[in-house]
């Protein structure tokens, strides 16, 4: 892997100060910072070749369309999808899950059918399914977790039944960092002919994703969590599903022929991309994926493992600090609480030291309910963080403790 100072220099924001202190950015689970090449790629679209995609015969429209379709191919190759027709651009993970929950529900779900989720899900992988269940009279079933914040596989197997129509689980918990055994989850579901959606919002940033090897039916993620722009996301779906499902939105570009009596839809992937898509962000995302590939995904994983181990050691040594999420398989995310100090106070004081952490429920209230807490402080680390920054966090936490006596 390249030298860390050199890598950090790629990210302009990392050299800024907040409250006159060097920024320590530990909120990568919420969104990642962007390297200059991504900022340049988006800028270049607007500066040099902006034109609406798939619509014009003119030069600029052609260039934008080429950039957008080139971005689709980059995403295909990054996640190892079989065909680029299986890669749909959306607004993000939330947009992708809402879309699939709607289309899948309309097509296949009947009263009494069941959808299995885990207790570790982000609200984005709960609420759209709940809304669909309400519409269709279906039922959500939830895989329970243990005190380490891991799902209980035997309970998952017990939940799978003839009533199960889909399993939707996260690759990694954003609240605790737990990595789920998604390969095993998919295999078990497929053994009873049930398709699986993987929420890759966290997983994509830290892990290897090979949708073919996983045999995942759907895989969704957001561009902004993998060093790309906000407002763009991916819905990968196996062609057999996407060709059977109806679109979740109607509008321009997703149609073949429109009359007031009847509309026929465009072919894949355009059938699921209604209206003007965020093509500059798609092009920025492709640049981000190139950047990640350039650093090397093995290198990133190795570096983040080192950061996680170091941070876990440093934080565990702090008296009165409790880590939530103690699985042996984690992304580089640490959730914690200080005894008798509210998470919000900890976060506010760390902020004044220039240290950005997340506080609250992390859009995962069922996880917080499990531990009977109202939130945690979360430090989510990625490859551009340093051991020195982890030291600053540990020292900052000690200061918070001393302020509260
Ligand atoms: N799923 C998980 C596991 C997440 O961590 C997040 C965001 O934190 C989401 C879904 C929602 O992502 P977005 O807000 O980009 O749609």
Residue 178, ligand 1, Cβ within 6 A:
no
- Read off the DSSP letter of residue 177: -
pLDDT at 243 over 80: yes
Averaged pLDDT for residues 370-375: 98
DSSP symbols for 17-58:
EETTEE-EE-BTTT-----HHHHHHHHHIIIII---TTT-SS
Partner residues linked to 324 by β-bridges: 335
Of 340, 339, 356, nearest to 348 by C-alpha is: 356
Residue 380, ligand 1, Cβ within 6 A:
no
pLDDT value for 98: 98
Both 237 and 106 in one domain: the answer is yes
The answer to whether 156 and 188 have CB atoms below 8 angstroms apart is yes
pLDDT value for 6: 97
Q: Is 33 domain-assigned? A: no
Distance between Cα 163 and ligand 1 center (Å): 28
d(CA 10, CA 300): 15
pLDDT at 26 over 80: yes
| Of 37, 133, 363, 382, catalytic | 363
The answer to whether 191 and 68 have CB atoms below 8 angstroms apart is no
Distance between Cα 124 and ligand 1 center (Å): 6
d(CA 269, CA 70): 14
d(CA 11, CA 37): 9
Both 276 and 356 in one domain: the answer is no
Both 301 and 273 in one domain: the answer is no
Both 284 and 316 in one domain: the answer is no
Mutate to test the pocket of ligand 1, among 30, 90, 97, 202 (most ligand atoms within 8 A of CB): 202
Both 305 and 288 in one domain: the answer is no
The answer to whether 308 and 381 have CB atoms below 8 angstroms apart is yes
d(CA 237, CA 81): 9
Distance between Cα 201 and ligand 1 center (Å): 5
Q: Is 120 domain-assigned? A: yes
By alpha-carbon position, which residue is closest to atom 5 of ligand 1? 174
End-to-end CA separation in angstroms for the chain: 43
Distance between Cα 149 and ligand 1 center (Å): 18
pLDDT digits (tens, 9 = 90+) for 195-204: 999 999 999 9
pLDDT value for 83: 97
pLDDT value for 56: 76
Task: Dig out the tokens for 337 from the structure.
Answer: 């609480």
For all residues of the chain together, what is the average pLDDT?
97
pLDDT digits (tens, 9 = 90+) for 55-91: 778 999 999 999 999 999 999 999 999 999 999 999 9
pLDDT value for 57: 87
Distance between Cα 398 and ligand 1 center (Å): 31
Averaged pLDDT for residues 243-257: 95
Closest approach atom of ligand 1 to CA 95: 16
Residue 122, ligand 1, Cβ within 6 A:
yes
The answer to whether 290 and 284 have CB atoms below 8 angstroms apart is no
Domain limits for position 75: 39-293
Residue 14 — very low, low, confident or very high, per pLDDT cuts 50/70/90? very high
d(CA 288, CA 128): 28
Instruction: From 260, 293, 326, give the residue that closes a domain.
Output: 293
Mutate to test the pocket of ligand 1, among 117, 124, 173, 203 (most ligand atoms within 8 A of CB): 124
The answer to whether 300 and 377 have CB atoms below 8 angstroms apart is no
**Tokens 């800024």 sit at which residue?**
16
Residue 349, ligand 1, Cβ within 6 A:
no
pLDDT value for 208: 81
d(CA 357, CA 29): 10
Residue 199, ligand 1, Cβ within 6 A:
yes
CATH code for position 320: 3.90.1150.10
Both 80 and 211 in one domain: the answer is yes
Both 155 and 175 in one domain: the answer is yes
Q: Is 62 domain-assigned? A: yes
| Chain Cα centroid distance, residue 201 | 1
pLDDT value for 55: 77
Both 273 and 186 in one domain: the answer is yes
Beta strands in 171-316 (DSSP E): 196-199, 218-222, 233-237, 255-258, 263-265
Distance between Cα 330 and ligand 1 center (Å): 17
Residue 28, ligand 1, Cβ within 6 A:
no
pLDDT at 398 over 90: yes
Known catalytic membership, residue 363: yes
Residue 228, ligand 1, Cβ within 6 A:
no
Residue 118, ligand 1, Cβ within 6 A:
no
Both 167 and 47 in one domain: the answer is yes
Both 348 and 245 in one domain: the answer is no
CATH code for position 179: 3.40.640.10
Instruction: From 225, 259, 293, give the residue that closes a domain.
Output: 293
Partner residues linked to 87 by β-bridges: 236
Q: Is 34 domain-assigned? A: no
* Number of DSSP helices (H) and strands (E) in the chain, helices first: 15, 17
Both 284 and 323 in one domain: the answer is no
Averaged pLDDT for residues 253-278: 96
3-class DSSP assignment, residue 257 = strand
| Chain Cα centroid distance, residue 395 | 30
Q: What percentage of the chain has pLDDT greater than the value 90? A: 98
The domain total for the chain is: 2
Residue 171, ligand 1, Cβ within 6 A:
no
pLDDT value for 100: 98
Averaged pLDDT for residues 96-108: 98
182 phi-psi bin (left φ>0, alpha ψ -120 to 50, beta other) = alpha
Q: Is 12 domain-assigned? A: yes
pLDDT at 357 over 80: yes
Residue 391 — very low, low, confident or very high, per pLDDT cuts 50/70/90? very high
d(CA 379, CA 364): 15
Q: What percentage of the chain has pLDDT greater than the value 70? A: 100
């Amino acid at each position: 892997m390249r030298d860390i100072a050199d890598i950090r220099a790629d990210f302009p924001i990392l050299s800024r100060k907040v409250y006159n202190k060097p920024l320590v950015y530990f909120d990568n689970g919420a969104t990642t910072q962007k390297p200059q090449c991504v900022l340049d790629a988006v800028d270049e679209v607007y500066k040099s070749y902006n034109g609406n995609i798939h619509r014009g015969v003119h030069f600029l429209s052609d260039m934008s369309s080429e950039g957008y379709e080139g971005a689709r191919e980059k995403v295909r190759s990054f996640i190892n999808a079989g065909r680029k027709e299986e890669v749909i651009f959306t607004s993000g993970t939330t947009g992708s899950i809402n879309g699939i929950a709607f289309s899948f529900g309309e097509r296949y779900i009947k009263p009494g059918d069941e959808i299995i989720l885990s207790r570790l899900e982000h609200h984005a992988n709960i609420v759209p399914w709940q809304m669909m269940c309400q519409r269709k009279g279906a039922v959500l079933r939830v895989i329970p977790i243990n005190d380490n914040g891991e799902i209980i596989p035997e309970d998952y197997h017990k939940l799978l039944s003839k009533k199960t129509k889909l399993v939707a689980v996260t690759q990694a918990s954003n609240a605790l960092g737990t990595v789920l055994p998604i390969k095993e989850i998919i295999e078990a579901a497929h053994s009873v002919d049930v398709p699986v959606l993987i929420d890759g919002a966290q997983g994509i940033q830290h892990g290897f994703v090979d949708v073919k090897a996983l045999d995942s039916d759907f895989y969704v993620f957001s561009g902004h969590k993998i060093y790309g722009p906000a407002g763009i996301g991916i819905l990968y779906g196996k062609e057999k599903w996407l060709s059977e499902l109806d679109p979740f939105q109607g509008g321009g570009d997703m149609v073949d022929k429109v009359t007031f009596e009847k509309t026929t839809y465009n072919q894949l992937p355009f059938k699921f991309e209604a209206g003007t898509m965020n093509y500059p962000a798609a092009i920025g995302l492709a640049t981000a994926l190139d950047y990640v590939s350039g650093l090397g995904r093995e290198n990133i994983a190795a570096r983040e493992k080192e950061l996680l181990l170091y941070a876990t050691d440093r934080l565990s040594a702090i008296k009165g600090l409790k880590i939530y999420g103690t699985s042996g398989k984690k992304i580089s995310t640490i959730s914690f609480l200080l005894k008798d100090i509210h998470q919000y106070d900890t976060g506010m004081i760390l902020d004044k030291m220039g240290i950005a952490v997340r506080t609250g429920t992390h859009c995962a209230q069922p996880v917080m309910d499990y531990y009977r807490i109202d939130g945690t402080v979360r430090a989510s680390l990625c490859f551009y963080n340093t051991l020195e920054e982890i030291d600053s966090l540990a020292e900052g936490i000690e200061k918070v403790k001393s302020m509260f006596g």
